[in-house]
Structure 1
Amino acid sequence: MIEIAADKVVQVVFLAREGPAGARELHAFIGGLNEDEKAHLTALAWVGRGAFGAEAYGEAVATAFAEATVPTDVYLMGMPHLAENLEAGLDAMGVDVAGAEEDLL
């Protein structure tokens, strides 16, 4: 159901945590994702912050596609607590990211 690899989401989490030091790389990384991945990344962030429940994930993805009016990297980097929202979104969707996190460390 989630059409973005967990390791890509974890990479966004790590870059977001770097703050200004990782901003340019984060913009480039998100910009390099395909449109499906961008919509799913946005939907995960929304689920993580409570805008959608896990059971409404499909609706969140559809909304992300329909309401994409600014570049995804700009939108997500303007979101407070992006890293935490993505982690919470993955958790809510039942995705175990321990292996992906270890690979990045």
Structure 2
Amino acid sequence: MDEIPDLAISPEKVAAILLKARQFDVKDVVTDPDSASNGSDDAMLSVLEDHASDPARTELSAMIRGLNVDEQVDLVALAWLGRGDGDIGDWQEIRSEADRAHNRRTAQYLMGIPLLSDYLEDALSQFGHSAEEFERPL
């Protein structure tokens, strides 16, 4: 394929979602559901656990749910592309399948993919971008 396909979602949005997904991906299962109310009492372990009220989970879900349908379809297709379900030459087929599979649980589905941030990063690179080009310096 000589030409890179157009995306309905901007590379900046993909980069923002993948950076938030990295924060979410590092979370571990909840090991102490009755943890102390003070973070220092439980050695800050709860910060690394995937609690339902976790800010990274909430923010990532809100970012995905805030996308329009075409952007959500592209995001799912990018995750599939990055996980190796085809290459950029198969983009139209991958995107068509993502469109057929689209439903109201896109955020839940994507957040259930263990290596989401890695897949999005790989797909973004196939479109000639990297997450680093969109990171803001402190």
Normalising by the residue count of structure 1, what TM-score does the alignment of the two structures yield?
Answer: 0.89
Following TM superposition, by how much is the alpha carbon of 1:70 offset from its aligned partner in structure 2, in angstroms?
5.0
Counterpart for residue 107 of structure 2:
73
Partner residue of 1:14? 19
Give the aligned partner of residue 60 of structure 2.
26
1:90 counterpart residue number: 124
Cα 1:104–1:83, aligned 2, differ >3 Å: closer, same or farther? Answer: farther
Q: 1:104 to 1:60 in 2, by over 3 A?
A: farther
Contact 1:47 1:85 in 2 (8 A): yes
Whether 1:99 and 2:133 are equivalent positions in the alignment is yes
Q: Which runs of 5+ in 1 are unaligned?
A: none
TM-score, normalisation: structure 2: 0.69
SS of corresponding position for 2:74: helix
Count of aligned pairs between the two proteins: 104
Which among 66, 74, 82 is matched to residue 40 of structure 1?
74
Structure in which a larger fraction of residues adopt helix:
1
SS of residue paired to 1:18: helix
CA distance in 2, matches of 1:79, 1:31: 16
Distance, in Å, in 2 between the alignment partners of 1:23 and 1:81 is 15
- Contact 2:8/2:70 (CA < 8 Å) preserved in 1? yes
Larger radius of gyration: 2
